[in-house]
Amino acid sequence: MASRDEDDNEPIVVPDAHAPPAPMDPAVIAEAEAAKEEANQLFKGKHYSAAIDLYTKAIDLNPSKAIYWGNRAAAYIKLESYGAAVADAEKATEIDPKYIKGYYRRGDAHFALGKYKLALKDLRTAAKVAPRDPDLRRKLAECEKEVKRLRFEEALAVPEAEQVSVLATLDLSMYDVIEDSYTGPRMQGSAAEGYTLTQEFVEAMVEEFRAQRTIHKRFAFEIIRQAHTLLRTLPSLVDVVIPDDKHFTVCGDVHGQFFDLLNIWDLNGRPSPDNPYLFNGDFVDRGSFSCEVIFALLAYKLLHPEALHMTRGNHESKSMNKVYGFDGEVKAKYNGTMVDCFRELFCALPLAVCLNGRVLVLHGGLFQQDNVTLDDIRRVDRFKEPPEEGIMCDALWADPSPVPGRTPSKRGVGLSFGKDVTRSFLDANGLELLVRSHEVKEEGYEVEHDGRLITVFSAPNYCDQMGNKGAFVRFNGNDMVPHFTTFSAVPHPDVRPMAYANSYLMGM
User: What are the residue numbers of the active site?
Assistant: 315
φ, ψ of residue 247 to 5 degrees: the values are: -125, 170
* Nearest to 449, CA basis, from 398, 396, 402, 484: 402
> Cα(167)–Cα(19) distance, rounded to whole angstroms?
68
CB 114 within 8 A of CB 321: no
CA atoms in the 13 A half-sphere facing the CB of 405: 2
The DSSP secondary structure of 351-411, one letter per residue, reads SEEEETTTEEEESS---SSS---HHHHHT---SSSPPSSSHHHHHHH-EE-SSSSEEE-TT
Candidates 283, 288, 333, 254; CA nearest to 493 is 288
Q: Which residues contact 505 (CB under 8 A, 6 or more apart)?
A: 111, 112, 323, 324, 498
**What contacts 393, CB < 8 A, 6 or more positions away?**
386, 387, 413, 414
CB 254 within 8 A of CB 260: yes
- Binning the chain into helix, strand and coil, the percentages to the nearest 5 are 45, 15, 40
Distance CA 285, CA 318 (A): 11
Q: Tell me the chain's radius of gyration from C-alpha atoms.
A: 25
Helix (H, G, I), strand (E, B) or coil at 265: helix
